[in-house]
Amino acid sequence: MKATLSPLIALLATGLLLKATVALAGLPQHDPVPGGVVVVELGEVDQEAADQERPEVRYRDRDALVVREGEQWVALLGVPLSAETGERRFTVRHADGSEETHSFEVGTRDYGESRITIDDERMVTPDEEDLERIAEDRKEINAAIAYRSDRNPTPLSFELPIRDVETSAFGMQRYINDQRRNPHSGLDIRGAEGTPIHAPAPGEVIETGDYYFNGKTVFLDHGQGLISMFAHMSEISVAVGDSLETGDLVGKAGATGRVTGPHLHWTVALNGVIVNPRLFVADESPLDADEEEAAAEE
């Protein structure tokens, strides 16, 4: 028996756009904007089918994350920060082999801007040797961000790696020494040198490294293309292949790489797309900082 789309998004089957907001417990916030996450109900689980295979969803030529949430199959789609407004399409292949094409509308979001000053000129304008290292770093970082396993990512509601104030928000347009650079690709959380960093959800360590811009870094695979990256660490406490549970020690906050002070830079990637970590955090109460507190930014 083919799973059917819930009434919440049944309008998709007619080729219309997703406008409803999905709000299911244990899932990230539905936010169909650049850098956001689209949460799509795919239909009810067939209770009569033993070991029912989950639907397959393809978006941006990649397999999307699909999980069972209660009696629903749900897909999570990551929207690139570079995405322009307009319609985006994805396909759903059900367990019975039937396929459907659906769409959603990407909205707009102004994340604001961030201006910082870096005294080390090589961290602003790297020399030729630095650029060679940066290129090699980027290959390793991109491979880790694009990594995908069959691990079932639960829960999808994350804990904060450090329970402290946010010092630089995700998506802000960055200016370094008044030079325009890429938008901020993560969430900076205040952490003095040596502050413990904890796993926000279960996962397996898939890569560690000491990179030119990121400093000491750990990549944690939560499953199905959902990756956490922790950067600028003073100490790495895990090794590739380690399995972590929520709250386990990943390492300690520091000021390695390109920074203005010690802190944690936390990036979340979904199927190769960097998205807003805030959308995965159920309790945002510690993530409030005024301009005077925002002293440690990447």
Residue 1 is assigned to a structural domain of this protein: no
265 shares its domain with 143: yes
Q: How far apart are CA 2 and CA 190, in angstroms?
A: 48
- Residue 238's pLDDT is 98
CB atoms inside a 10 Å sphere around CB 218 = 26
Tell me whether residue 199 is in a domain: yes
Say if residue 40 is in the same domain as residue 123: no
Alpha-carbon distance of 208 to 257, in angstroms, equals 14
- CB distance 111 to 171 below 8 Å: yes
Based on the domain organization, do 26 and 100 belong to the same domain? yes
Look at residue 154 and tell me if it is in a domain: yes
**Is the same domain home to 147 and 168?**
yes
Domain closes at, from 79, 106, 133: 106
pLDDT reported for residue 66: 95
Instruction: Name which of 261, 134, 124 is nearest 179 in CA terms.
Output: 124
Number of independent structural domains in the chain? 2
pLDDT band at 286 (very low <50, low <70, confident <90, very high): low
287 domain-assigned:
no
**Per residue in 232-257, pLDDT tens?**
999 999 999 999 999 999 999 999 99
- Residues 147, 119: one domain? yes
Cβ atoms of residues 255 and 3 within 8 Å: no
Do residue 186 and residue 244 come from a single domain?
A: yes
Instruction: Say if residue 127 is in the same domain as residue 102.
Output: no
Give kind and range of the element (H or E) at residue 138: helix 128-145
- Tell me: do 146 and 70 sit in the same domain: no
Mean pLDDT over the full length of the chain: 86
pTM tops 0.95: no
Residue 227: domain span: 113-280
Residue with tokens 């030529």: 61
Residues 86 and 187 in one domain: no
On whether both 244 and 136 belong to a single domain, the answer is yes
Asked whether residue 294 is assigned to any structural domain, the reply reads no
| 4 domain-assigned | no
Looking up residue 229, the CATH number of its domain turns out to be 2.70.70.10
Residue 49, both tokens = 């089918």
- Burial class, 162, CB count within 10 angstroms (exposed 0-12 / middle 13-18 / buried 19+): buried
Calculate what percentage of the chain has a pLDDT beyond 70: 84
Q: Does one domain contain both 117 and 258? A: yes
Q: What is the DSSP string of 231-250?
A: EEEEEE---TT-EE-TT-EE
61 is written with which tokens? 């030529």
194 and 263 housed in the same domain:
yes
pLDDT confidence of residue 53: 81
